[in-house]
Amino acid sequence: MDLNYTPEERAFREQVRAFVHSKLPSEIGRKVLEHKRLTKEDQVRWQKILFDKGWIAPGWPVEHGGTGWNAVQMHIFDEECADAGAPPVMPFGVKMVGPVIIAFGSPWQKQHYLPRILSSEDWWCQGYSEPGAGSDLASLKTRAELRGDHYVVNGQKTWNTLGQYADMIFCLVRTSSTGKKQDGISFLLIDMRTAGVTVRPIITLEGEHEVNEVWFDNVEVPVQNLVGEEGRGWTYAKFLLSHERTGIAGVSRSKRELRFLKHIATQEQKDGRPLLQDPRFADKVARLEIDLMALEITDLRVASAEREGRAPGPEASILKIKGTEIQQSLTELMMEAVGPYALPFLPESWGDHWLGERIGPEYAGPLAARYFNHRKVTIYGGSNEIQRNIIAQQILGL
């Protein structure tokens, strides 16, 4: 295994870097680097720039609009985008439902939905979790009853991310109650503008409207929006989650955030000297950096295996566990560094001012919100406890 970049890969990095620095709108990059709120328009604007370049869906097959890049090239692309402050592409369309449609969808679904995902014409959201069906997702109760050429859907989804903006939602629904719980689940594509769909906000700890409840009251969904076969939704759901988890580690973004943490620690003072010179704080930063270096090497090993034609195995669970723990540690150390200046965490602090005037350094305002928001990262996409079970069973043989 060779973890060194080839001359071709180094040339590719320069190509990506030049594109991102010339095409990324400066105001969007500044928002990302300063941890300020991105609007839907910000996200879509950058995604359309990538779409025009043909780089919106690197992981897709070329015949469906992908780039043909290998895993190492995608890693380089992620690094350069993160370093410049480019927003990550919203995952629900490109990285989650898109691959499911490519693998299991009908010819009509591929022809209709894939181009709309690539162009950002459709904004997608996810309908998996329900009250009482989170980690035990197979216990979901939202029902879909076949009536003629439509399914009629009734039920509730929760922890739905950014559904207030969405045009479409991909949903797991129960179409049968016989046999194993998993055998009665199907995968539906539902237009959020259909009569009977109601989105209700859930305001999270940091004061943000990021997640929602979604209610379905006799919602009619055409049969042609069933993905694959009825009753095989659990198989498609697991396939989708494997794609979701590959990006959760966020190595490139964590490297950028580590640099930001060091910047804060050189600005903040303790006993008349930069905080980074305090032995106890410097030790915490060093331990975190070592963990991140080890995570990056593991990530590159997975990418190297794919470059050599070997599919990544359950070691992807290691990436998810360590990646999310590192993300949480970064937010904790940033909070520790700025101290009381992190207290104002109302949504107003995500803008340029809080209550009309700045409180402490400008970079401190959004940090508490980021801390609270990142409490979730070890849970979604399969909790870290579940990932440890996967490692125990598939790697350790326990």
> What number is the average pLDDT over the span 67-93?
92
What pLDDT was estimated at residue 346? 53
Q: Is the per-residue pLDDT at 354 higher than 50?
A: no
Reported as a pLDDT band with limits 50, 70 and 90, residue 316 is confident
151: which 2 tokens? 């399914």
The answer, yes or no, to whether residue 349 has pLDDT greater than 60, is: no
pLDDT tens digits for 161-204? 999 999 999 999 999 988 888 889 999 999 999 999 999 999 98
Q: What does the block give as tokens for 304?
A: 């190297």
Residue 355 has pLDDT above 60, yes or no: no
Instruction: Please give the backbone phi and psi of residue 203, each rounded to the nearest 5 degrees, phi first.
Output: -90, 120
Per CATH, the architecture of 124-232 is what?
Beta Barrel (2.40)
Res. 124: pLDDT tops 60: yes
Say if domain 249-394 classifies as CATH 2.40.30.110: no
Q: Which region among 52-66, 191-205, 218-232, 380-394 has the lowest average model confidence (pLDDT)?
A: 380-394
High-pLDDT (> 70) share of the chain, %: 90
Is residue 360 scored above 80 in pLDDT? Answer: no
Active site residue 244: yes
Residue 318: predicted pLDDT? 84
Q: Which of 79, 80, 244, 336 is catalytic?
A: 244
Domain boundaries, the chain: 7-89, 124-232, 249-394
Provide CB contacts within 8 A for 301, sequence distance 6+.
1, 3, 315
pLDDT in tens, 255-301: 999 999 999 999 988 888 999 999 999 999 999 999 999 998 888 77
Best CA proximity match to 81, nearest among 296, 248, 297, 255: 255
pLDDT at residue 207, rounded to an integer: 79
pLDDT at residue 248, as a whole number? 77
Q: Would you say residue 348 has pLDDT above 80?
A: no
Question: If you average pLDDT over every residue of the chain, what do you get?
Answer: 89
